């Protein structure tokens, strides 16, 4: 029990560090990869709500440690994105389809980004500091690029996981083999 907890904490720590230090230093569009959101969606669908919730909280905490935004901004944004993913998964999507993962990741990513920018803008407004956000072509192109990159990573993860595990493979019921 405790070993499993420690192991999960270690994985959360590694994933958080990889996102904050490694991914941010990558070249070109690779730095737009959001491993946290992608992992959260996968963990939510594979391991369930509570397990995913603890992971979300752990990763949000790592982000908070290295963030210069007021404490709580990442908690709120990441957990809200996670709740949205859970709501969509429970009510509208299956957990075995690539398209479901793509939709869930995009929805979570969009929510996460909108909340982060909104909270940041709100805090700067409240503190009467400058926060210049040019919603111009360049900004929108950057965000579009970010969504596309993350879609690619989800596709990659999905096929890798599908290759090493049978969780995503379809199950068919054959008529005549079901015993009453």
Partner 1 sequence: MLKSNKKKVLVFVAVIGLLIFLSSIGILNPFIGFSDRIFSPTMKNFYNLGSGLRNSFDNQAGKKNIFTENEELKVRVANLTEQNVELELVRQENKLLREHLNFLGKNNYRYVMSSIVSRGDITDVSDKSEVITINKGLRDGLVPGLAVVSSQGIIIGKIADVKDSISLVYLTNNSKCKLAASILGQEGTEGVTEGDRGLTIKMGFIPQSKEIKKDDIVMTSGLEYLVPRGLAIGRVIEVEKNNNELWQNAVIEPVIDNDSLVIVSVLLPSN
> Which residues would be at the binding site for partner 1 (CB under 8 A)?
13, 17-18, 20-28, 31-32, 49-50, 53, 57, 62, 64-66, 68-72, 75, 79, 86, 90, 116-117, 120, 130-134, 138-139, 142
Rounded to 5 degrees, what angle do the CA atoms 4, 168, 32 make?
Answer: 75
| Distance separating alpha carbons of residues 21 and 11, to the nearest angstrom | 15
Closer residue to partner 1, CB minimum distance, 78 or 158: 78
CB of 10 to partner 1, least distance (A): 11
Closer residue to partner 1, CB minimum distance, 86 or 100: 86
CB of 102 to partner 1, least distance (A): 23
The CA-atom distances, in angstroms, between 40 and each of 88, 118, 125, 145, 148 are 14, 22, 31, 21, 18
In 116-134, which positions are buried (b, 16+ CB within 10 angstroms) versus exposed (e)?
Answer: beebbeeeeeeeeeeeeee
Closer residue to partner 1, CB minimum distance, 20 or 88: 20
CB of 104 to partner 1, least distance (A): 17
- The SS3 of residue 14 is helix
Closer residue to partner 1, CB minimum distance, 26 or 98: 26
| Distance separating alpha carbons of residues 160 and 153, to the nearest angstrom | 10
CB of 26 to partner 1, least distance (A): 5
CB-based contact 4:119 (threshold 8 Å)? no
Closer residue to partner 1, CB minimum distance, 113 or 162: 113
CB of 173 to partner 1, least distance (A): 27
């Amino acid at each position: 029990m405790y070993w499993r907890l420690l192991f999960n904490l270690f994985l959360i720590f590694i994933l958080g560090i990889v996102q904050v230090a490694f991914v941010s230093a990558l070249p070109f569009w690779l730095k737009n990869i959001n491993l946290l959101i992608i992992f959260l969606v996968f963990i939510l669908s594979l391991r369930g709500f509570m397990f995913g919730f603890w992971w979300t909280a752990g990763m949000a905490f790592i982000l908070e440690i290295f963030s210069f935004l007021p404490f709580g901004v990442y908690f709120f944004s990441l957990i809200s994105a996670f709740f949205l993913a859970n709501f969509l998964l429970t009510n509208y999507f299956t957990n075995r389809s690539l398209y479901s993962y793509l939709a869930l990741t995009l929805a979570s990513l969009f929510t996460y980004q909108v909340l982060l920018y909104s909270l940041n803008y709100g805090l700067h407004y409240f503190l009467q500091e400058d926060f210049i956000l040019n919603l111009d072509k360049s900004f929108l192109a950057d965000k579009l690029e970010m969504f596309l990159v993350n879609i690619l990573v989800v596709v990659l993860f999905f096929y890798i996981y599908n290759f090493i595990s049978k969780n995503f493979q379809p199950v068919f019921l054959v008529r005549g083999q079901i015993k009453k």
